[in-house]
Amino acid sequence: MNDVTGMPQTVVVVGGGADLSRAILRVLSGRRLRSVLLAGRSNESLQAAAEELRGLSVARVETERLDVTEIAGIEAFADEAARRVGHIDLVLIAAGELGTGELTELDAPSVARLATTNFTGPAAAMTAFARVLCAQGDGRIVVLSSVAGYRVRAANFVYGATKAGLDGFALGLGDALAGSGVEVMVVRPGFVRTKMTAGRKVPPFAVDASDVADAVLRGLESGASVVWVPAWLRYLFGILRLAPRSLWRRLPG
């Protein structure tokens, strides 16, 4: 059960091998975490994440191979997760890829693939878990969105557009779930230094995975529905969103 300070005991992660998932689970393990099911594409990174959690005295850690782009298997996975974990306190949706925004490198299949990985798959997973959590009467879904989806930029517009879709889906789902006992929290990090962003140019507001994890923890404790990392990006992007397009297009980075 989640306690009244928002701390979960049991967590299912979709995208369990990702750096951000690992950082978030690390901080939760210091509180009430006792059972985790990690699902993801890469068996190698799942095992590494599982190993780490066992070392942090999480009593039960399981892994399961899951590719969110295989939509047909997602409902069954959610049911299987409920069977294995029992009462699921928190579902972390962390699957995603950066892709490319270079017009010359893009083609129809690659755009479709990224949209499935970053939007269709995660949205399907949220839907399936929303059903499971509604039936159990409570629970929380935490979705890793991005500031890139708040106003899409040319530099990474495909990624940004997929996150914009996911962000909107999550907010809408959260509203639709009002009164069900299930809550949705959207996390909007800026640039995070992780495996996924390695080799990219680092902007001035870059944060580490551990900063995102701390922000998620604070968000859970304060009952936030949207978390920005760092927190002041909320104000920066609130202004930037209103910038005229001619200016927005020319912003550096």
Q: Which residues bind another protein (CB under 8 A)?
A: 1-7, 9, 31-32, 79, 86-87, 131, 134-138, 179-181, 218, 221-223
CB distance 34 to 7 below 8 Å: no
CB of 73 to another protein, least distance (A): 18
Nearest to another protein of 6, 174 (CB atom): 6
d(CA 240, CA 238): 6
> Minimal distance in Å, beta carbon 65 to another protein?
24
Residues 6+ apart with CB under 8 A from 138: 1, 2, 181, 182
- The nearest distance, CB 89 to another protein, in angstroms, is 9
Q: Which residues are catalytic?
A: 159
Nearer to another protein, 114 or 130 (CB): 130
CB nearer another protein, residue 135 or residue 251: 135
Q: Which residue is associated with the tokens 């599982």?
A: 50
Contact 91, 21 (CB under 8 A): no
Residue 190 and residue 209 in contact, taking contact as beta carbons nearer than 8 Å: no
8 A C-beta contact, residue 117 and residue 96:
yes
Residue placing its CB nearer to another protein in the complex, 28 or 114? 28
| Minimum gap (Å) between residue 47 Cβ and another protein | 26
